[in-house]
Structure 1
Amino acid sequence: MEGKEQSYGENDAFVIEPRGIEHIPEDQRYGKVRKLFNVWFASNLHLSVWTIGALGITLGLNFIGALTSILTGTFLGAVVVGLSVAMGPKLGMPQMPQSRASFGYHGNFVPAILSWLNFLGWFTVNNILGGLAMKEALHVPYLVSMLIISLVTIVLALYGHNLIHGFERIMTWVVGLIFLVMTFVMLAHHGQTGAIPHHNSPVVWLTEFTVMFSYAVGWSPYGADYGRYLPQTTRIRGPVWITTFGLFISIAWVSVVGAALAAGFNGAAPITLIGKTMGWFSVVAYVGLALGSMSSNVLNIYSGSLAALTFGLPLKRWTSAILIGGVSIVLSLIFSSEGKAVDFLQNFLLFLVYWVTPWFGVQAVEFYINKRTRIDNVLDFYRPRGPMAGIRWKGLGSFIIGFVVSIPFMASAIYTGPIGHALKGADISYFVSGIVAGGLYYLFTISERRSRRASLHLARPTVDQ
């Protein structure tokens, strides 16, 4: 465990969080479950969500088809994230270190590095789109606007947990109200629905469904990071449903608006569309989009810094946050356009998220069925040579097999497997990998569960009859 134990309470928003991935003792827990809503709501009010919502229309769905695929895919993905967030209060530690119980201390480097790449990439995409929006608002060069939102976001993440929660609470109201006005104004100005030929092909519907599911479920590796300070007595259902509704409402709202406008304006680019429809309010709208990107990116930097510590980067949390922010600024310059470069990066990130569901399948079995992570000494998670040392092949092997088995089912802009091709681009690999990995891990750990139950039974005090 890194660092010295320091006092850090609920009112210390402008105190740099002293902890990295350390366990939070029960006597230093605080907060209410409802604050989780702000984190997951505000972090999805931005252009990336708009564009994936419009995708279904672009592929050929009509508005009803796009609507139903968006709602179902988003809801299922949000529930998975809620189940991840609920692990935080029980263990009092961030998300990625928790899977050391099933992958081993060093075996867990694999998902930790993959999650770090995921955080880094999404920061870059959102930073570019936010920088372009701020450029339109301030009429300054892209470099200036991008650096403004980058540096402010890095500072927020540097201060850590409490300031992030405070910022997201403010953005819930500020950006939420801006998006509400944008929604009414743009839908009032939309063109004739049906400018693009539309139909409700089951395959296209499934394609949009999996895109929405993959985006939502991609938040799972972040989950427990923002709930780990809550009291251990927090009931699991609270974080699950508050998180689910926060994610679902924001992603569904912005995506459905994107789909409706794509249908009405023949797929026009969001930044161009705002300038054409919003009039004097367009400046406020662009600022709102930039703030929405920051709300998302502060989570990318913060969780990225925790993931880096999980795979052994020899830095403090705040210096790790500066590192990921600096690398992202460089990438935001390299991919500095709203065109093909950003599209490629976004496609790559949607491809990268393939690892999330097999990881979650293993992690869910470990936490909700095996329950070792809720019983064993939490300090064992931090001992490189302790009970979780090395690689636990039951977990890592299940993860790898689940991923490999799902490859033929994949259908993305980067790679399409034979089954994904036969299904004409419908991608069900996320479900295949999660079910296979979780199922295998459940089977591989049957004997361990039996041994644990037997030892717990023997440990119970007897009662004289």
Structure 2
Amino acid sequence: MKVEVRSIDYIPESERHGKVSNLFFIWFTSNMQITTIVTGALGIVLGLNLTGTLLAIVIGNALGAIFMAYHSAQGPKLGIPQMIQSRAQFGFYGAILPLLLVLMMYLGYFATSAVLGGQALAGWLGMPIDVAIILVSAINALLAIVGYDLIHHYERWAGYLFAIVFVILTVKLLNMLPHHYTPSGHFTWSTFLLAISISATWQITYAPYVADYSRYLPTTTSIRQSFLYTYFGSVIGTVWMMSLGAIAISFAAKAFNANSVSFVANHIGGSLSNIVFPVIILGIIGANVLNLYGVFMSTTTTLNAIKPWNFHVSSRITIVLAAAVLGTSLAIWGQGNFLNNYGNFLLIILYFLVPWTAINLTDFYFVRHGHYDVPSILHVGGQYPLFNFRTLITFFVTIAIEVPFINTTLYEGPLAKLLGGADISWIVGLIVASVLYYALMRPIQRKDSHQSIPEATATD
């Protein structure tokens, strides 16, 4: 399989390929992994009971996935990566702001997942965890360098394997439930809403990834198909794994917090632990390659705005390896107090991504109705401004309005206190950003909203 030669440039119709059904496996498989299981445990960590946690997992994922799945249709329609589309909303240079925020998110997710991947490999083969983290990251780097087609093939075949293994683990866990479960925690609306926010965060933070993995599909791919395959793949995989995490930590919180990978493999897997360990490793690889691929896409988009150049295979290798080294270093450095740090990281990223996804979707579906001038997105001097101050105002005003509703261990806003600690900032942010952006942009809608999408020349 050849190394992918395209990066941020437009994918012409002659190179379009693949089935829309493959989107299901991308998002199903990438969620069938230990990081998702750990995230599902956070509701119990916050003090919520098991029933409330499971209900919050279902509601949060069902709502959050709506927004990430609607990004999926942008890939076939525009034929360019997800984050470079922000130039049409934020401006050619203004888009660097969300790109830098997303880069931090990619690296944060890569580091946290690398820790769990290292735990799995170390627990399986008995090697030092730092060495194990490096080895798992090296495999991720290889997949990200080869690129799009290899990632799709990996996620598809790994998805079949994961479904079989996790069906077995789920049956074993449910059989253990009557014998080992001791009720703990209690239901409060504030904690319940916070748990919903965590699950919704998981889905919304996928929004910057989505079009990257649908942009090679034919332009005739319908919005409905793209949405449904993406939505159900992500929701089914995530709800399943998060529910396992919530149930597992209810059995033995100390053992789960100490090493969630070993707990799942040894306590639940039992005699199958030698199979569970490599499956966990493969799951981490399937999720983390998306983070590394996203780093490459966002980095090339940012560098291209600062100084246009052609990104060849050598550039791809250099950027991916540099990102892998940085992410691996963060993973080795930040292994301690994992669950608490991870929960805070998820929520902090959410406050910045909510206005971005609301702006992007409002622009695509309600302002421009999917009509963009792709060459103007790819090259400076086109019909889109260098900075779109209406968008930037929307972005910062939304974040400012979110702040009073924030509830993390680092800061609790006054309105969150009035709500008993509930964090509904993501709901407020989605509404404010969508309404404000539409109000500011609709009256000055540019002529490009009525243009067809021309083919852009390759930059690689």
Q: Deviations over 1:182-227 (max 9, x none)?
A: 2222332346566343332222211111110011111000010000
Superposed, 1:109-120 pairs within 5 Å as: 109-120=96-107
Letter of the 1:380 counterpart: S
Unaligned runs of 5+ in 1: 1-13, 457-465
Counterpart of 2:175 (choices 188, 193, 196) is: 188
Counterpart of 1:440 (choices 436, 440, 445) is: 436
Deviation at 1:385, TM superposition (A): 2.6
Unaligned runs of 5+ in 2: 452-460
Q: Hey, what's the Cα distance between the residues in 1 that align with 2:416 and 2:301?
A: 34
Q: Counterpart of 2:21?
A: 34
Deviation at 1:408, TM superposition (A): 0.6
- Say if 1:84 and 1:393 are closer, same or farther in 2 by CA, change over 3 A: same
- Say if 1:201 and 1:349 are closer, same or farther in 2 by CA, change over 3 A: closer
Whether the aligned pair in 1 keeps the contact of 2:373 and 2:448 (CA below 8 Å) is no
Q: Hey, what's the Cα distance between the residues in 2 that align with 1:183 and 1:305?
A: 36
- Say if 1:120 and 1:346 are closer, same or farther in 2 by CA, change over 3 A: farther
Other structure's SS at 1:120 match = helix
Counterpart of 1:177 (choices 164, 177, 184) is: 164
Q: Counterpart of 1:279?
A: 270
Q: Hey, what's the Cα distance between the residues in 2 that align with 1:281 and 1:376?
A: 52
- Say if 1:230 and 1:149 are closer, same or farther in 2 by CA, change over 3 A: same
- Say if 1:345 and 1:187 are closer, same or farther in 2 by CA, change over 3 A: same
Superposed, 1:114-133 pairs within 5 Å as: 114-133=101-120
Superposed, 1:41-440 pairs within 5 Å as: 41-190=28-177, 192=179, 195-266=182-253, 268-269=255-256, 270-274=260-264, 275-312=266-303, 316-335=315-334, 337=335, 339-341=336-338, 343-371=340-368, 374-440=370-436
Deviation at 1:279, TM superposition (A): 2.5
Q: Hey, what's the Cα distance between the residues in 2 that align with 1:427 and 1:344?
A: 17
Whether the aligned pair in 2 keeps the contact of 1:79 and 1:241 (CA below 8 Å) is no
Q: Hey, what's the Cα distance between the residues in 1 that align with 2:225 and 2:142?
A: 30
Q: Hey, what's the Cα distance between the residues in 1 that align with 2:240 and 2:284?
A: 16
Whether the aligned pair in 2 keeps the contact of 1:420 and 1:427 (CA below 8 Å) is yes
Q: Hey, what's the Cα distance between the residues in 2 that align with 1:76 and 1:92?
A: 26
Q: Deviations over 1:368-393 (max 9, x none)?
A: 01126x33321110112322241011
- Say if 1:388 and 1:123 are closer, same or farther in 2 by CA, change over 3 A: same
Q: Hey, what's the Cα distance between the residues in 2 that align with 1:396 and 1:217?
A: 20
Other structure's SS at 2:409 match = coil
Other structure's SS at 1:311 match = helix
- Say if 1:451 and 1:149 are closer, same or farther in 2 by CA, change over 3 A: closer
Q: Hey, what's the Cα distance between the residues in 1 that align with 2:2 and 2:447?
A: 45
- Say if 1:19 and 1:224 are closer, same or farther in 2 by CA, change over 3 A: same
Letter of the 2:413 counterpart: G
Deviation at 1:75, TM superposition (A): 1.0
Residue identity (%):
32
Letter of the 2:198 counterpart: V
Whether the aligned pair in 2 keeps the contact of 1:261 and 1:267 (CA below 8 Å) is no
What TM-score does the superposition give when structure 1 sets the normalisation length?
A: 0.90
Q: Deviations over 1:50-92 (max 9, x none)?
A: 1221222333333322221110100111111110111111000
- Say if 1:452 and 1:299 are closer, same or farther in 2 by CA, change over 3 A: closer
Whether the aligned pair in 1 keeps the contact of 2:375 and 2:382 (CA below 8 Å) is no
- Say if 1:41 and 1:267 are closer, same or farther in 2 by CA, change over 3 A: farther
Q: How many residues align?
A: 439
Deviation at 1:173, TM superposition (A): 1.3
- Say if 1:322 and 1:342 are closer, same or farther in 2 by CA, change over 3 A: farther
Whether the aligned pair in 2 keeps the contact of 1:158 and 1:318 (CA below 8 Å) is yes
Whether the aligned pair in 1 keeps the contact of 2:87 and 2:384 (CA below 8 Å) is yes
- Say if 1:346 and 1:200 are closer, same or farther in 2 by CA, change over 3 A: closer
Q: Hey, what's the Cα distance between the residues in 2 that align with 1:82 and 1:432?
A: 20
Q: Hey, what's the Cα distance between the residues in 2 that align with 1:318 and 1:419?
A: 47
Greater shift in the superposed pair: 154-163 or 201-210? 201-210
Q: Deviations over 1:111-150 (max 9, x none)?
A: 0111111001100000111110111111111122212211
Q: Hey, what's the Cα distance between the residues in 1 that align with 2:136 and 2:429?
A: 37
Other structure's SS at 1:15 match = coil
Deviation at 1:345, TM superposition (A): 4.6
Other structure's SS at 1:232 match = coil
Q: Hey, what's the Cα distance between the residues in 2 that align with 1:39 and 1:196?
A: 36
Letter of the 1:310 counterpart: T
Q: Hey, what's the Cα distance between the residues in 1 that align with 2:389 and 2:126?
A: 54
Whether the aligned pair in 1 keeps the contact of 2:124 and 2:277 (CA below 8 Å) is yes
Whether the aligned pair in 2 keeps the contact of 1:136 and 1:283 (CA below 8 Å) is no
- Say if 1:452 and 1:149 are closer, same or farther in 2 by CA, change over 3 A: closer
Whether the aligned pair in 2 keeps the contact of 1:54 and 1:267 (CA below 8 Å) is no
Q: Hey, what's the Cα distance between the residues in 2 that align with 1:411 and 1:54?
A: 18
Q: Hey, what's the Cα distance between the residues in 2 that align with 1:423 and 1:319?
A: 48
Q: Hey, what's the Cα distance between the residues in 2 that align with 1:437 and 1:248?
A: 24
